[in-house]
Homo-oligomer: A and B are copies of this chain.
Amino acid sequence: MSVILHDLCGADPSRRFSPYCWRVRMALAHKGIPHEALPWRFTEKATIADAGTDKVPVLRHDGRTVHESWTILEYLEDHWPGVPSLFGGEGGRALARFVNTWSDAVVAPAIAKMVVSDIPGVLAPEDAAYFVQSREKRFGMALAEVTAGRDAAVEAFRRDLHPLRMVLRERPWLSGTTAGAADYIAFGPLQWARCVSAFPLLTPDDPVHAWRGRLLDAFGGMARNAPAEDLT
């Protein structure tokens, strides 16, 4: 009945930086599920091949493998149904999916264009070569070119966060009076950026910055104490 998470890491195995793995790690902590988060690198695809994917997060539980962060969150809620809930009921589960699509379609791509060139610097050499080649192919340009305009791009990014900010002006958590899956989903890409790049995405006076701080402090400072570059 042990739970294992294959969790993306850098050259330093304690540098965990995948936005999708962070969503799962926060959810595991939220539910207090004992687990082992094993370091995994981009070039270790053989380790997770039995899960039918070449990407982490991959969760192993009870002889099964589960992959893709949203699917894992649902799996955790269904297999550890007691409190604390991740979703706060079926309506919350349904709309956490919208937070997930918003985070994946709006937030994560904008962050990628601001931090992707900083990622090779935290990777082991063989991973760095793989990463640069695959991402330069995806973007169709050198990674330094992708992030060259980030001083201007960050302004648009901060505007894109406005729907989240409006909620956080009213209450401490996106999920309501306590943190939940929606918070961890939105937090994942921000923690990704923080772990790989010193480029500051948020200004200290932003309610999103304060909310990120509360999530960094959650679970005994689990996310704050992780190796990171942006310490604002």
The chain B residue sitting closest to A159, CB to CB, is B105
Structural contact, A91 and B98, CB atoms closer than 8 A: no
The chain B residue sitting closest to A181, CB to CB, is B91
The chain B residue sitting closest to A160, CB to CB, is B106
Structural contact, A98 and B180, CB atoms closer than 8 A: no
User: Would you call A125 an interface residue if the criterion is a C-beta within 8 Å of the partner chain's C-beta atoms?
Assistant: no
Given that A90-B89, A91-B93, A105-B166 are contacting pairs, would A98 and B176 also be in contact in the complex, using a CB cutoff of 8 Å?
no
Given that A89-B88, A89-B89, A102-B102 are contacting pairs, would A94 and B176 also be in contact in the complex, using a CB cutoff of 8 Å?
yes
Structural contact, B167 and A98, CB atoms closer than 8 A: yes
The chain B residue sitting closest to A96, CB to CB, is B95
- Count the copies: 2
Picked from B85, B90, B91, B98, the residue with its CB within 8 Å of the CB of A164 is B98
Q: How far is the CA of A77 from the CA of B151 in the complex (A)?
A: 44
Question: Contact flags (1/0) for A63-94 with B, using CB distance below 8 Å?
Answer: 00000000000000000000001011111111
User: Would you call A117 an interface residue if the criterion is a C-beta within 8 Å of the partner chain's C-beta atoms?
Assistant: no
Given that A88-B89, A90-B88, A90-B89 are contacting pairs, would A95 and B182 also be in contact in the complex, using a CB cutoff of 8 Å?
yes
Given contact pairs A89-B89, A97-B170, a sample of 9 additional A-B residue pairs in the complex whose CB atoms are under 8 Å apart: A88-B91, A88-B94, A91-B91, A91-B96, A94-B175, A101-B162, A101-B163, A101-B167, A102-B102
